[in-house]
Amino acid sequence: MPHFKFVARSSKGALVDGIIEATDRSAALREIEKTKGFPVRAELVVQNQKQPAATVQSGGGSKASANAAAAVSVQTMSHTQQHLFTEQLALLLGAGMTLDEALGILEKRMKHPKLHAMSKGLHQALVEGRSLSQALRDYPKIFSPLYVNMVAAGEASGTLADILKRLVRYLAELKELRDRVQQALVYPAVLVVVGILMVTVFMTVMVPKLLKFFTDTNQELPLATQLLMKTHTALAHYWWVGIIGFFLSSAAFRSWTSTAEGSKAWDALRWKIPGYGSVMRHRYYAQFARTLGTLILNGVTLLKALELIEDIAGNAFVREKMKAAQQAVVDGQALSNALLQQNICPELFIDMLAVGEQSGRLGETLGNIADVYDRELDKQVKLISTLIPPLVMIGIAVVVGFVVFGILSAVFSMTQGLRPGV
């Protein structure tokens, strides 16, 4: 019967190598997974190359290697590229390849410079005896702690291929969520910009020509016309004051929000702004539930999962609330009660979460909660994208109406002056 020389990583992170007897390579990989841990590589050997005993190597150390340069050169990566790498690695591992073989293939197949350099760095780190999760930590701006810890959980449990497949789904859902919000707000944003440009052109190009005619008559103009002329003068001669004021206020705002108190106050305000705050909240509820559910379903403890998703909101106000909720869970409270005390989640969220805790199906329930708030997010985005265009049109109509009223007031005043006997 053929013999296969293998290297595997145990549940404790140590590398184990040796020789195993099996009918074929697939059977050898299955046997390694059952007895030794997650297979890193397995090669067919002839009888005189057999090693009599397996050895255990420490998996904690790392060597100074060429992949450090690769990590420096690959600082950032798009969400699409990260998704592609994860998907390809999951497919190769799911097809029965070892991690060493899968990374070797990715190193050859990935044509994009960043993906190629990263695959090469990860493969080199694996050859040096490091685990995949340890190697991923060399790329902190690409792979979040959440991603790395899920990979580590997959290595420890021997289910790395399944974990990567779930990561692929999670990354796809996250991208879809962001794309939905961005696409729905593109049209209103364009409409706002066009509206501002129209009003600016109208006030600086068309209005002056009309007002020059009225001033040449040397008649006393109505109040509305005088206000219109002063507005035009301010825009035409003091526009630089507005620009300077804009930059100064922006600098002051950035300085204020760079402080801990200012950042918290601004994030708290954003969280409560009508419309915008509603989209932020529903997006956070969906992302929080989806991420926490994914972690729990992959064997991550609740406390560790809460720690990993602490910064998921990107909001100092919410982060402080979640830290307090996490501490309450540490003190022995249920997550639903901890979130209820912080008044950060709606009643429906809390009620569904409590049911999941009581039924012992917290991971599945969180997935259902994410689905609910995904649908609610769609409704909120559609509502806002429907309301913004008419609001912009009303704003434009008010400005144009003010201009027309100022012009017509002057016209009527001049007409009155032309009547006989006046």
b (16+ CB within 10 A) / e for 281-291: bbbbbbbbbbb
Query: From edge to edge, which strands make up the β-sheet containing 38-45?
Result: 38-45, 3-9, 15-21, 55-57
- What gap in Å lies between CA 173 and CA 290, rounded to an integer? 9
- What gap in Å lies between CA 398 and CA 137, rounded to an integer? 56
pLDDT score at 244: 92
* CB 161, CB 140: distance < 8 Å: no
Give the architecture (CATH level 2) of 150-422.
Up-down Bundle (1.20)
Residue 48 DSSP one-character state? G
> Which of the four pLDDT bands, split at 50, 70 and 90, describes residue 77?
confident
User: What does the pLDDT average to over 246-253?
Assistant: 92
User: What does the pLDDT average to over 234-242?
Assistant: 80
Q: Which of 370 and 39 is assigned the larger pLDDT? A: 370
Reduced to 3 states (helix: H, G, I; strand: E, B; else coil), residue 345 is coil
Helical H segments across 333-361, by residue range: 335-342, 347-359
Domain ranges, ordered by start, for the chain = 3-57, 67-143, 150-422
Q: What is the sign, positive or negative, of the torsion defined by CA atoms of 307, 312, 316, 322?
A: negative
> Which of the four pLDDT bands, split at 50, 70 and 90, describes residue 417?
low
Q: Which of 361 and 177 is assigned the larger pLDDT? A: 361
Task: Dump the DSSP string for 260-290.
Answer: HHHHHHHHHHHHHSTTHHHHHHHHHHHHHHH
Cα-only R_g, the chain? 32
> Which of the four pLDDT bands, split at 50, 70 and 90, describes residue 332?
confident
- What gap in Å lies between CA 67 and CA 141, rounded to an integer? 16
Give the pTM: 0.61
Which stretch of 26-40, 64-78, 115-129 has the lowest confidence by average pLDDT?
64-78
Neighbouring C-alpha atoms within 13 Å toward the C-beta of 400 = 13
pLDDT score at 54: 43
Residue-wise pLDDT for 144-191, tens only, equals: 877 887 787 777 666 788 888 878 887 887 787 777 777 766 777 787
Q: Is the pLDDT of residue 86 over 80?
A: yes
Residue 56 DSSP one-character state? E
Picking from 138, 223, 163, the residue whose alpha carbon sits closest to that of residue 38 is 163
Q: Which of 71 and 141 is assigned the larger pLDDT? A: 141
pLDDT score at 52: 43
Give the architecture (CATH level 2) of 67-143.
Up-down Bundle (1.20)
Say whether 150-422 and 67-143 share the same fold.
Answer: yes
pLDDT score at 73: 55
301's tokens: 């403890």
58's tokens: 């420490």
Q: Is the pLDDT of residue 373 over 70?
A: yes
Task: Dump the DSSP string for 77-140.
Answer: --HHHHHHHHHHHHHHHHTT--HHHHHHHHHHH--SHHHHHHHHHHHHHHHTT--HHHHHTT-T
Q: What is the percent of the chain where pLDDT is above 70?
A: 80
Q: Is the pLDDT of residue 61 over 50?
A: no
**Which residue is associated with the tokens 């005619």?**
213
Q: What is the dihedral of CA 258, 260, 264, 267, to 10 degrees?
A: 20
Instruction: State how far the alpha carbon of 142 is from the alpha carbons of 61, 136, 138, in Å.
Output: 23, 9, 9
Q: Is the pLDDT of residue 265 over 80?
A: yes
- What gap in Å lies between CA 365 and CA 394, rounded to an integer? 44
